[in-house]
């Protein structure tokens, strides 16, 4: 009779060897290497608004224009300089294709920074 340890090692080694040989073949087939055609990933459609932000004293104004065919959601963020002055995140505004929107906010005193964030509208 064969020793049990040797049989156990053999039984454990066979599935590992089969998996080691099968994985590269599966990856090769999944990439489409055997089909002879290479497919490039689709290029994303251009999207997003172009925004200009102006800070004058304690007031912030941003104009966002969307030249693309998809709707862009924009939001104005204002960070105030004084510790007691509340920083603000404005409401989300939808910028339709070919449209311009005006976003505005203010601080009680000076403005440290202001910026506009973008995200695509859900379909």
When divided into structural domains, the chain yields a total of 1
Does residue 67 fall inside a structural domain? yes
What phi and psi, each to the nearest 5 degrees, are found at residue 25? Answer: -65, -40
Distance, in Å, from the CA atom of 120 to the CA atom of 123, rounded to the nearest integer, reads 9
Could you report the per-residue pLDDT of 51-70, keeping only the tens digit for each? Answer: 999 999 999 999 999 999 99
CATH number at residue 107: 2.60.40.10
Instruction: Report the Cα 107 to chain-centroid distance in Å.
Output: 30
Does residue 30 fall inside a structural domain? no
Question: What pTM did the predictor assign?
Answer: 0.63
Does residue 77 fall inside a structural domain? yes
Does residue 99 fall inside a structural domain? yes
Does residue 12 fall inside a structural domain? no
Strands 59-65 and 100-106: antiparallel
CB-based contact 103:62 (threshold 8 Å): yes
Could you report the per-residue pLDDT of 56-110, keeping only the tens digit for each? Answer: 999 999 999 999 999 999 999 999 999 898 888 999 999 999 999 999 999 999 9
Structural domain that includes position 67: 48-118
Does residue 2 fall inside a structural domain? no
């Amino acid at each position: 009779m064969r020793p049990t340890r040797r049989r156990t090692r053999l039984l454990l080694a066979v599935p590992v060897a089969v998996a080691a040989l099968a994985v590269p073949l599966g990856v090769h087939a999944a990439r489409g290497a055997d089909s002879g055609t290479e497919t490039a990933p689709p290029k994303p459609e251009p999207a997003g608004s172009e925004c200009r932000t102006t800070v004058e004293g304690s007031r912030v104004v941003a104009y966002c224009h969307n030249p693309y065919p998809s709707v862009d959601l924009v939001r104005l963020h204002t960070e105030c300089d004084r510790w007691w002055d509340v920083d603000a995140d404005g409401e989300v505004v939808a910028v339709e294709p070919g449209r311009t929107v005006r976003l505005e906010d203010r601080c009680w005193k000076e403005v440290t920074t202001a910026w506009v964030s973008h995200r695509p509208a859900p379909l």
